[in-house]
């Protein structure tokens, strides 16, 4: 009955409501662990790098894209060419005077998803690993 009520509102209501419903459905298929977002290429170069285009409020943590002011945001490793080492200033002070120009990684995603580190080591949990996004390898195919 609830569904029937919603769909009658959907057809009778504004186009805004219909658009939000469609976007929400698309988002549900677009979690960070969805197959298209699980490739090495996406994880290393796009995950939390590409700006999110969703125009409705949603859970940033499970969204694979970057959001304004999000701490998990990564700089593009191709255009910023930072190395895989953690920034000593961020470790010491929590911030870095070099900002985006710094040649060290600034958060756990920049550190673990760096092309020189991502899935180059074995996951300690192996086949029992339940992480949605694991930075380590579980099989020879995953090992880079």
Binding site for Zn ion (CB under 5 A): 52, 54, 63, 65, 87, 96, 98, 102, 104, 123, 129, 134, 136
* Contact predicate 78/50, CB 8 Å: no
* Contact predicate 50/77, CB 8 Å: no
Q: How far is the CB of 15 from Zn ion (least distance, A)?
A: 22
Residue whose CB is less far from Zn ion, 21 or 23: 23
Q: How far is the CB of 81 from Zn ion (least distance, A)?
A: 14
Token pair belonging to 86: 């953690």
Residue whose CB is less far from Zn ion, 54 or 84: 54
Residue whose CB is less far from Zn ion, 4 or 59: 59
Please report which residue ranges of the chain form alpha helices under DSSP H.
2-12, 15-28, 40-45, 77-80, 88-93, 108-112
Q: How far is the CB of 7 from Zn ion (least distance, A)?
A: 27
How far is Cα 63 from Cα 53, in angstroms, rounded to an integer? 11
């Amino acid at each position: 009955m609830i569904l029937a009520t919603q769909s009658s509102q959907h057809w009778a209501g504004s186009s805004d409501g219909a658009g939000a419903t469609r976007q929400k459905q698309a988002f549900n298929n677009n979690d960070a662990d969805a197959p298209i977002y699980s490739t090495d290429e996406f994880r290393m170069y796009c995950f939390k790098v590409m700006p999110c285009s969703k125009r409705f409020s949603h859970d940033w943590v499970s969204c694979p894209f970057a959001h304004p002011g999000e701490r998990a945001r990564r700089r593009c490793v191709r255009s910023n060419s930072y190395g895989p080492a953690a920034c000593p200033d961020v470790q010491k002070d929590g911030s870095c005077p070099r900002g985006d120009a710094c040649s060290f990684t600034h958060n756990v995603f920049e550190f673990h998803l760096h092309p020189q580190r991502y899935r180059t080591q074995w996951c300690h949990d192996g086949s029992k690993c339940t992480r949605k996004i694991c930075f380590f390898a579980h099989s020879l195919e995953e090992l880079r």
